[in-house]
Amino acid sequence: MTQKKYISIQKAIDIAAKGGEVSIRGWVHRERGSKKLKFVVLRDSSNIIQCIFKKDQFEDDKEGKLWDSIDKLQVEASMQLTGTIKADERAPTGAELLVTSFEIVGESHEFPIQKDASKEHLANNRHLHLRSRKMTAILKIRSTVFGAIDEYFKGQEFYEYHSPTLQAVQCEGGSDLFDVDYFGKKGVFLAQTWQLYAEPAVFALEKIYTIAPSFRAEKSKTSRHLTEYWHAEMEMAWSDFQDIQNHGEALIKHVFNCVLKKHQADLKLLDRDITKLTPIVEKPFIRMTYTKALEILKEKCNMDIEWGKDLRTIEEDKLSRLYDVPVICTHYPKKVKAFYMMEDPDDKRTVQGCDFIGTEGYGEIIGGSHREHDIEKVKENLIADGEDPAEYEFYLDTRRYGTVPHGGFGMGVERLISWICGLETIKDAIPFPRTMERYKP
């Protein structure tokens, strides 16, 4: 292959008004043409550009081999080419390249994805569908989201910390655990959360975070559930319940802000209504107790929910649609929440746990709490859940040796991405979604 300096398609578009010779490379996004003229829309990670091949440009090509290869060019063939760039308002991205030389790097043969392919076909060909402009835009935003989470926590002086994926205890209820055959032994599971292995570490590092895969054997076929998702979690010592909520709000604001600054073009390509995103950066989130949420649901949505029942998706949706910022719902009934949550001293029927409910019906984005530090209460709660406290001895040591007020939260990264991008389903927020029904390709 020739040694040329290749620039990105976006860079070529940026300098189109100046004109001149450029070399670019990428994949054929669309092609059409006649015997003498061929229009190829070339795609790379940065953008697309219209390239024009004129037969008379290739007169040295006596045997017509070059032109023949252009004529046979198919969608998704890879190529590198050199030509003169110029601005042209009629072209799809406002610039056009008149090709003077080119090289086909990898041919393509009847690319299996065509317009109007069914969802099932796209899912079966996920490895190829990743190349679509929609998936490319989402994956770029996803990359920024991961970076922004990292940046937020590092900026707040949290240490990055890692917990095991193979775990010997449950934390979020046993019903959705994935069992692992561990050399013939039972009682080993894929992590639902880092939490029980994170709490011991706050006695060393005080403020920690991670972004790691979590696994839930969820039987739900909803637009919000994956069996493998990326979980951004934090845990901090010496914190109170407010600190946990404040970090959750500031984290979401930071991520939204980073995406809005960097991805206007991608959000446009995804047809995302930006006016729905700006209030999340600019306005404070709404904080209300579970009890207040029930009152509002009754008053404004005519939904009568018995105190003590968990909020279902339908109720969260109704609530979220009343506001243009997330609702941080706190003080849920103790019996619907996890064993590790702190009993509220002012109302012992409730716990200091919080769910962040995204706007526009995007559901629970963050779940967090202040942790119960009374070892006897933790044991009682475990027994009430049908667990054997003896299996949790290592965890209970966090309450035995110099315990301190502490808490943390977990944020579903794909739920966040789905919400930011305005996706119909969480499955498009991750390259290869795993659900109850799909684990291939």
Q: Does 249 bind ligand 4AD (CB under 6 A)?
A: no
Does position 171 interact with ligand 4AD (CB under 6 A)? The reply is yes
In angstroms, give the least distance from the CB of 341 to ligand 4AD: 9
Nearest residue (CB) to ligand 4AD, 40 versus 325: 325
Residue 428 binding ligand 4AD, by CB under 6 A: no
Of the ranges 34-42, 218-226, 246-254, 319-327, which one interacts with ligand 4AD (CB under 6 A)? 218-226
- State yes or no: residue 266 binds ligand 4AD (CB under 6 A): no
- The answer to the question of residue 317 lying near ligand 4AD (CB under 6 A) is no
Q: Does 226 bind ligand 4AD (CB under 6 A)?
A: yes
- Burial degree of 110 (CB within 10 A; 0-12, 13-18, 19+): exposed
Minimum CB separation from ligand 4AD for residue 38, in Å?
45
Q: Which is nearer to ligand 4AD, 225 or 331 (CB)?
A: 225
Q: Binding pattern to ligand 4AD, positions 345-374, x when CB under 6 A?
A: -------------------xxxxx------
Site string for ligand 4AD, 186-215 (x = CB under 6 A): ------xx-x--------------------
Q: For the CB of residue 271, give the shortest distance to ligand 4AD in the complex, in Å.
A: 23
Q: Applying CB under 6 A, what is the total number of residues that bind ligand 4AD?
A: 24
Would you count residue 258 as binding ligand 4AD (CB under 6 A)? no
Determine which residue in the list 103, 150, 172, 387 makes contact with ligand 4AD, applying CB under 6 A.
172
User: Does residue number 409 form part of the binding site for ligand 4AD (CB under 6 A)?
Assistant: yes
Asked if 216 interacts with ligand 4AD (CB under 6 A), we say yes
Q: CA-CA distance, 72 to 57, in Å (whole number)?
A: 17
- Rounded CA separation 306/19 (Å): 69
Contact call for residue 418 and ligand 4AD (CB under 6 A) = no
Q: Is 233 in the site for ligand 4AD (CB under 6 A)?
A: yes
Q: Which is nearer to ligand 4AD, 83 or 248 (CB)?
A: 248
Report in angstroms how near the CB of residue 261 gets to ligand 4AD at its nearest: 24
* Distance in Å, CB of 107 to ligand 4AD, minimum: 39
* Contact in structure between 182 and 162 (CB atoms under 8 Å): no
CB 269 to ligand 4AD: min, Å: 24
Closest CA to 32 of 52, 13, 8, 59: 52
Is the CB of residue 313 less than 8 Å from the CB of residue 363? Answer: yes
Query: CA-to-CA distance for 353 and 349, rounded, in angstroms?
Result: 12
Taking CB under 6 A as the criterion, the residue among 412, 417, 420, 421 binding ligand 4AD is: 412
The residue among 258, 261, 256 whose CA lies nearest residue 277 is 256
Contact segment (CB under 6 A) with ligand 4AD among 107-115, 127-135, 264-272, 406-414 equals 406-414
> Binding segment for ligand 4AD among 78-86, 131-139, 203-211, 404-412 (CB under 6 A)?
404-412
> Please, how many CA atoms are within 13 Å of residue 403, restricted to the half-sphere of its CB?
15
Per CB under 6 A, contacts with ligand 4AD among 96-135 are none
Where along the sequence are the contacts to ligand 4AD (CB under 6 A)? 171-172, 192-193, 195, 216, 218, 225-226, 229, 231, 233, 364-368, 408-412, 414-415
